[in-house]
Amino acid sequence: MESSAKRKVLLGVTGGIAAYKSCLLLRRLVEAGCDTRVVMTRHATHFVGPLSFSTLSGHPVAADPFESYQVDGAEHVDLSVWADQFVVAPATANILAKSATGIADDFLSTLICAYDRPILFAPAMNHRMWSNAAIRRACGQLQEDGHVLVEPGAGWLACGETGAGRMAEPEFIHEHLDWLWHRTSLLQGRRVLISAGPTVEAVDEVRVLSNRSSGRMGFALARAAQRMGAEVRLVAGPVELPTPLGVCRRDVRSAAQMAQAMLEEAATADVVIMCAAVADYAPEAISGKRKKDGSPWQLSLLPTVDILRELGALPGRETRIIAGFALEMERELEQAREKLQRKGLDFICLNNPRTEGADFGSTQNQITLLDRDGTVQEWPLMDKLLVAERILRHAALRLGNMA
């Protein structure tokens, strides 16, 4: 991770069990050379004592009530002017709702209201609170206002239940900050086309054949490309994922529809990444619904359009980056290399759903990138957003070399 030296970070801590994880985040920030100050809500002080934070940061902690609004001589909203990064972790349902509506009824919410740059919120709460309609609206509003939400993960929650609402790990929040701080305009003015998700092939008018792709990797690529300044088009198979902010999305179902949409959109694209798990074979669909009559039903599957090959044949190939994904379970490198060459790609991202932590639907992925120049980069298991950023950096580099 790049150095975050001398960055002034204001850490807001609110009243949730995950407050203890903020101590670890604070330690990472301090170790990375950041100048940090901590503000706690009154409720937060019930979970972790201010002494922990003041010891780790080396500065007194600002906590309610109002009388303590002095930290190293800075008063009231001064801290929000001082900070060049504001992080709220954990962010309770309460602080998210207040921040989204401009309520400033204690020290932390007043500072949030006075801060005029993007704030990074790391929500943490019970899964029912996380899916509450008002909290969904608040999160949407905060993102619309330009703030950044580090999505909570799913798993065991302190309340004893299981679901989404666990605060992202401090390490990941730090990585996210690092990315924000070193965000680039590497793809500024470029058009990036991404495909994502599975395709669904009709067997009859009721039944379908599909696969287990969640679409997360493709959506992460779209989100990352948008943050790198690109104009992004996303062609998505049926998935339950929100469209990343600022991304233009086109929904499709079948491999044939995916091919049509990709070929239409690719004509003006500088970078095309085929991340969708497109069906290789599709049945000859029959009309109506086949009745269950006790006899075996043998499906005849026909090969679908080879989208990557068709993309490669479009005019303008020499100034366009085309990359694909290879999901392989045996002789992975060999198979991926063969696909790279057969399809004439610039690079290919090899992944294996048997890798621990990188199975279907996971928020993480482990990629080996093979370039047409023969280089191979094996990356560690990482959050898909960080994987996406690395892939796009590679695409930008290749694009730069083309110019």
Question: In the chain, how long is the greatest CA-to-CA distance?
Answer: 83
* Separation of CA 115 from chain center: 25
In the complex, minimum distance from the CB of residue 375 to ligand FMN, in angstroms, rounded to a whole number: 45
10 Å CB burial of residue 375 (0-12, 13-18, 19+) is exposed
If one asks whether residue 92 binds ligand FMN (CB under 6 A), the answer comes out as yes
Q: How many CA atoms lie within 13 A of 383 on its CB side?
A: 18
Q: How many residues bind ligand FMN (CB under 6 A)?
A: 15
If one asks whether residue 125 binds ligand FMN (CB under 6 A), the answer comes out as yes
If one asks whether residue 44 binds ligand FMN (CB under 6 A), the answer comes out as yes
Nearer to ligand FMN, 25 or 44 (CB): 44
Q: Which of 93, 119, 139, 279 binds ligand FMN (CB under 6 A)?
A: 93
Nearer to ligand FMN, 105 or 378 (CB): 105
Active-site residue, selected from the candidate residues 113, 159, 248, 349: 159
Q: Which of 8, 24, 27, 43 binds ligand FMN (CB under 6 A)?
A: 43
- Is 159 assigned a catalytic role? yes
Contact criterion met (CB below 8 Å) for 180 and 249: no
If one asks whether residue 89 binds ligand FMN (CB under 6 A), the answer comes out as no
Closest CA to 11 of 2, 3, 1, 44: 44
In the complex, minimum distance from the CB of residue 39 to ligand FMN, in angstroms, rounded to a whole number: 11
Report residue 215 as tokens: 């679409």
Nearer to ligand FMN, 40 or 177 (CB): 40
Q: Which of 17, 74, 104, 248 binds ligand FMN (CB under 6 A)?
A: 17
If one asks whether residue 152 binds ligand FMN (CB under 6 A), the answer comes out as no
Q: Which of 94, 110, 352, 365 binds ligand FMN (CB under 6 A)?
A: 94
Which range touches ligand FMN (CB under 6 A), out of 80-88, 89-97, 326-334, 372-380?
A: 89-97
In the complex, minimum distance from the CB of residue 353 to ligand FMN, in angstroms, rounded to a whole number: 32
Q: Which of 9, 10, 11, 15 binds ligand FMN (CB under 6 A)?
A: 15
**Interface contacts to ligand FMN, rule CB under 6 A:** 14-18, 41, 43-44, 92-95, 124-125, 129
Catalytic residues: 159
